[in-house]
Amino acid sequence: MNEKKEIVVKVDRLVKTFSSRSGREEVKAVRNVSLEVEKGRTLGLVGESGSGKSTVARCITGLLKSDSGLIEVLGKDILKESGKSMRSFRQDLQIVFQEPLESLDPRYRIGRSIAEPLLLHANLDKKAIRNRVLLLMDQVALSEDLFDRFPHELSGGQQQRVNIARALVTNPKVVILDEPTASLDVSVQLEILELLIKLQKEFDLTYILISHNLGTIRAICDTVSVMYLGEIIESGDTDEIFDSPKNSYTKSLLGAYLPVDPREKVRI
């Protein structure tokens, strides 16, 4: 099959360094990272703390300004976009964070929170906005009567669904998921991941999933890039990486994954 690959996100030799207030200490959070994501597929960025994966995500969304390198999303050069056009571009490039409750303005009701991107970018009247919000709520399986509630009245899983609804309300093409299920209970994690998969199929979304949880990565990612201390040390198809890792760090990372079946022993 010779279908032309449509590369939706392209990162080339990204570098981001943080320096302390006094300027004396420097941390190279991201060094020379390159990656590509095809349309409709999911790239997993896996790594432990300090690996730089969250920093890469923020650079791709333009929330952090990278020092050098190329970031191209849907053909646009992120580093060259002006403030105004970048803001408008966010209709197509969205991000869901790890903290379900903290990502929402505590004073806004759910319906209002989800509607915010529409208020910013779309030219719809009140009724149309309300309908669209209700539609999204239905798609993420949030009951309609939560429309007027406040974030703290919802459970963690529900809060995260709100964040997902809000991220999808303007029909974006690319969604970055930064540890979207890390702070949720295991059974809720499953629901959210299933939801994300369903939405991806329905709307042909392209995902970049960041996680330290190997189970999550294996569950929904097509390709994986393993990060360690700011660099990508191995990349490939998910099955390849999990079944035959080449890099020793990847191997030790996979070795740390504890199977739930006691018959599969992964010990020292």
Partner 1 sequence: MSWHKLRGYFNTPLVISSTLIFLFVVGSFLVPLFSQWDPELANPREAFSSPSWRHPFGTDRSGMDIFVRVFHAPRIDLSLVSLGVLIGGFLGILIGVITGFSRGIVSEIVMRLVDIVQAFPLLILAITLVGLAGNDYSNIVVVLAFVNVPVFVRLTRSQVLTLRELRFVEASLALGNSKFRLIMRHILPNSLGPAVVQFGISMGYGVLTLAGMAFLGVGIQAPTPEWGSMILTGTSYITTGEWWISVFPGVILAIAIFSFNLLSEGIELLREKNSR
Partner 2 sequence: MSEKTLLIEDLDVGIVSKSKSDILLNKVCCSVAEGEMHGLVGETGSGKSMTARSVVGLLPNGISTFGGSVLFRGNDLLMMSEKERSKIRGRDIGMIFQNPRTALYPLATVKTQIMNILTTHLEISSDESEERVLSILSEVGIDDPERVSKAFPHELSGGMAQRVVIACAIVCEPKFVIADEPTTGLDLTIQKQILDLISELQQSLGLSILMITHDLGIVAQYCKSVTVLRSGRVVEQGLVDSVLVSPTEPYTKQLIDSSRLDRLIERI
Among 52, 46, 40, residue whose Cα is nearest residue 7 = 40
Q: What number of residues does the chain have?
A: 268
Using CB under 8 A, which of 90, 149, 212, 218 touches partner 1? 90
Angle between helix axes 156-168 and 186-203 (nearest 10 degrees) is: 20
**Out of partner 2, partner 1, none, which partner does residue 219 contact, by CB within 5 to 8 A per kind?**
partner 2
The least CB distance from residue 102 to partner 1, in Å, is: 4
Among 238, 210, 267, 211, residue whose Cα is nearest residue 60 = 210
Residue 35 in contact with residue 43, Cβ under 8 Å?
yes
Task: State yes or no: residue 202 binds partner 2 (CB under 8 A).
Answer: no
- The structure tokens listed for 267 are 């010990």
Task: State yes or no: residue 236 binds partner 2 (CB under 8 A).
Answer: no
What is the rounded distance in angstroms from the CA atom of residue 232 to the CA atom of residue 23? Answer: 26
Task: State yes or no: residue 88 binds partner 2 (CB under 8 A).
Answer: no
Task: State yes or no: residue 76 binds partner 1 (CB under 8 A).
Answer: no
Using CB under 8 A, which of 13, 65, 87, 201 touches partner 1? 87
> Phi/psi of residue 183, each to 5°?
-95, 20
> What is the footprint of partner 1 within residues 117-146 (CB under 8 A)?
117, 120-121
Task: State yes or no: residue 158 binds partner 1 (CB under 8 A).
Answer: no
Using CB under 8 A, which of 194, 202, 204, 237 touches partner 2? 194
DSSP element (H, E) containing 18:
strand 7-19
Using CB under 8 A, which of 102, 185, 204, 237 touches partner 2? 185
Residues in touch with partner 1 (CB under 8 A): 61, 63, 83, 87-88, 90-91, 94-95, 97-99, 102-107, 116-117, 120-121, 152, 163, 166
